[in-house]
Each structure stands twice: as structure tokens, then as C-alpha cells.
Amino acid sequence: MKIGIFDSGLGGLMIAKHIVRALPAYDFIYLGDTERAPYGNRSPQVVYAFLQEAVEFLFSKDCALVIVACNTASAQALRRIQREYLPRHHPARRVLGVLVPTVEAVVASGAHRVGVLATAGTVATGAFTRELKKAAPAAKVWERAAPLLVPMIELDELAHVDAVLARYLSPLLAKHIDTLILGCTHYPLVARRIRKLVGPNVRVVAQTDLIGGKLFRYLARHPEIERTLSRRGKVALLVTDLTPTFAALARRWFGPGAKPKVVQYY
């Protein structure tokens, strides 16, 4: 069986690159719903429906475990998938998100004043604040929606992204944050620009640096899942719409022979 990785677009591909680097022996299927991206401005009901379709498709492709690399889907729909959908339809399978592991890493770092830059959909749930307060009640948390960033990154229109980033980051920096969470898997693609804007005194937490190690440790704790996984070192890249930017990044990150395949599962 394989490990599935799902995202609405480009950001999850970067997560996939880091997961495959951390666990190169296993077989993976990456699914990007690029045709319907971004998810950040969708309603929770629609995001749940989209996630359910993606999870069912990946299970049909023999995935024992699915990583939801999309923060919007993790915030709006993952808990319901785990508590309602899996017990009823796939009790032996697992679906994990990226939000809680990110919070765990931030809390372990001893952060006290935390800014979160995320999509409008993720910010509307308050999920980062809720999870951070649960784990570290004394922490101060401020979330900021950045609705223009995902479209700019997806379209590779970055000529004016520094000005847009500065506008979004300014209210968070005014709170004297010591840590900034990049709460969307697209944002690590502009992480260098963000680090330059926030300065050396703010720790920038990118999920690309965390999830591979977190998954490695999860499999070590769950041998009943790990021993079902095949080990041929194969990676399949599937998308609902193959954009030039996605194709170029797939070749850059997975080698010149990477050939994403277009699928329709809904």
C-alpha cells in the first residue's frame, strides 16, 4: 500500500518533495486538485466535500494513509473526516493533517507571541489559535488572512509580491511577534522573501521543514500501518489540471523525468 498526499495546488507539491526526501523508500501518490484551487475562499461545506472526494480517490488507489497538506482542508474538514467518515467507511485507514504537527513544533520551541499568516478560510476557523491555546494557554496568537498570495504564487506572478507581503505582515509585526507560522503550504515558496521582511528576530515556521520528520515518527509509533506500506521508492504525481507552473516545479523537484498525469475523480 502507498502513502497519499493531497493538496489543492502547488504548495502541497513542495510538502511532498520534503516528505519523499525524508522517507525515500516508500511509495507515494500526490494528488493536486489544481482545477478547483484555491480552497481558501470556499465554504466549509464545499471544502469538506472536496476533501472527501480526494480521500476516497486516494484510498481507491491503494493508499493506507493520506496526508492532507492543505491547511484550509485541515482546518475546516479534517476533524469531520476523521471522526465521521473514516469510522463508517474506512476504519483501517488513516488521514492526517499538517496543522496540529505545526502547532506542536511551535509550542516545543517556546514561542510566546505567535503570528499566523494563512488563507481566509483557515483564519475564519480560528484553528491555529484554538490549537495553540490548547497546548500553550499563555501564548498570544494573532492570525492574518492573505487572500492574494495563493493566486499570485499559483500564477507565478511575483513581481509585486513583496509589497503584498509587507501589507499582510505589518499588523503581525506591530504585535512584536517572536514566531510566524506560514499557515498555507503555498507560502514556503516565498519564505525567503518573508524572512527578509520580518527580520532575524522572528522565527519563521514553514511546514516543509516539519512534516517529513513528523511522518517518520508517526510510522515508527504505528507499525500496524508502516508494515502495510510498499517500498519501491515510486512517486506518482496526479493533478486535476496540469498548469505550466506545476509541470515546471514537478520537473525541478522530482527530476526531469517527472510527468504529472491529469485525472478526473469527481
Cell numbers placing 55: 480521500
Distance, in Å, from the CA atom of 69 to the CA atom of 28, rounded to the nearest integer, reads 14
Distance, in Å, from the CA atom of 15 to the CA atom of 8, rounded to the nearest integer, reads 12
Distance, in Å, from the CA atom of 243 to the CA atom of 157, rounded to the nearest integer, reads 14
Question: Is residue 63 annotated as a catalytic residue, yes or no?
Answer: no
| Residue tagged active-site, from 5, 29, 169, 184 | 184
CB 68 within 8 A of CB 42: no
Name the CA dihedral angle for 88, 94, 99, 103, rounded to a multiple of 10 degrees.
Answer: 110
Write the burial class of residue 257 (CB in 10 Å: 0-12 exposed, 13-18 middle, 19+ buried). Answer: exposed
Distance, in Å, from the CA atom of 111 to the CA atom of 181, rounded to the nearest integer, reads 11
Distance, in Å, from the CA atom of 44 to the CA atom of 51, rounded to the nearest integer, reads 10
| Residue tagged active-site, from 70, 141, 153, 204 | 70
- Give the active site residues: 70, 184
